Structures are given as structure tokens and as C-alpha cells.
Amino acid sequence: MSPTQASPSSTDENEIILGTGMGPLRFGATMDEVRALMGEPEEIEESEDDDEFEHQAWNYLEEGYSLYFDREDDFRLSCIETDHPGMRLYGESIHGKSSDDIQELMRRHGHESSEIEKMDTGEMRISYEKEMIDLYFDEDELQFVNFGVFISEDLDVQWPA
């Protein structure tokens, strides 16, 4: 298949849709719905007893996804972390992009950076709090993204329609 004939799903599958999900994965999906879409995870991590939020993380290591289900949300999908090399945001491939490129992409779509944090080890995180996305960089190349369902100012979960 030539690149011009690529099926829509080949690009949609790794498309991050802020507040909604990634590709066919939608925030609010039950564990059974996710299992039907993704199959069994390679590992399931339970939160520690002292964690503020009781959750399960389903790790799909081959695909480069970790999917989070919080108990207080009835164990519905509420957060995705991915380092998938094909991840896309607003139709653009973002893995390996510089922090300036990512901030420019976000600005073009009306999002101003809310917080930049440099770690002692040299990594950097750019967080867009309203958009519920954290982008992690090493040596100024985007390595992975953690994003979740939108939360209202009243701290109510805003499940996608």
C-alpha cells in the first residue's frame, strides 16, 4: 500500500485526542471494553496502599501504553501514558520533537504552557493543566506523554460524550 493510500486507522490509532483518549481508546471505557479492544495486558500494577488514588495500571509493553483505571471512577479508563513512536497530536507526529516544537504546536491550537519543570537528572516536563497533559523530554526530545480525562474547576470528571 503506498503512503497516499494508507488507511485512516493507521494514523488514527496513535492520535491523542485531548480529554477524549487515543485512537479507539476512549476515557470512560470499562476494563472489559478495553480488554476487548487491546487484549490482555502484559502486566497489571496495583496502586500502593499509601497512594492517594487507588488504581490499576494495565501495561501493554509491546505497544508502549500504560492505561490507568481509578477506583473512584468505578475503574473506568481515566489516563493513558505512552511512549509509542507513532504517537500523534493534532495530526502531527510528536515523538522525539523538541520542547520548542511541542510548545509551538500547542500554541497553534490555543494552548498556553502552564508549567515547565526541569528535573535534577536533566529531564524536563511540560504540563498543560487545563488540557490534562504532561509531556516528558530527555535531551530536549519528547520521550513520553501522560494525558487524562478533563476535570472541571469543581473537580468533576468530564467524561467524553
Residue showing cell 470528571:
157
pLDDT in tens, 73-82: 899 999 999 9
Burial of 65 (0-12, 13-18, 19+ CB in 10 A): buried
Confidence (pLDDT) at 5 = 34
What does the alpha-carbon distance between residue 149 and residue 77 come to, in Å, rounded to a whole number? 9
Confidence (pLDDT) at 17 = 96
**What are the residues facing 118 on neighbouring strands?**
124
Q: Give the model's confidence band at 51: pLDDT under 50 very low, under 70 low, under 90 confident, else very high.
A: low
For residue 35, give every residue at least 6 positions away whose Cβ sits within 8 Å of its Cβ, in sequence order, or none.
none
Q: Quick one: cell of 155?
A: 473537580
Kindly tell me the number of DSSP H helices and DSSP E strands found in the chain: 3, 15
pLDDT in tens, 87-131: 999 999 999 999 999 999 999 999 987 899 998 888 999 999 999
Please state, for a pLDDT cut of 90, what percent of the chain lies above it: 75
Ordered by where they begin, the domains of the chain are: 15-148 (2.60.460)
Is the distance from CB of 68 to CB of 57 less than 8 angstroms? yes
Beta strands in the chain (DSSP E): 15-17, 21-22, 25-26, 43-46, 55-60, 65-70, 76-82, 88-89, 92-93, 115-118, 124-128, 133-138, 141-148, 150-151, 157-158
The pLDDT of residue 3 is above 60: no
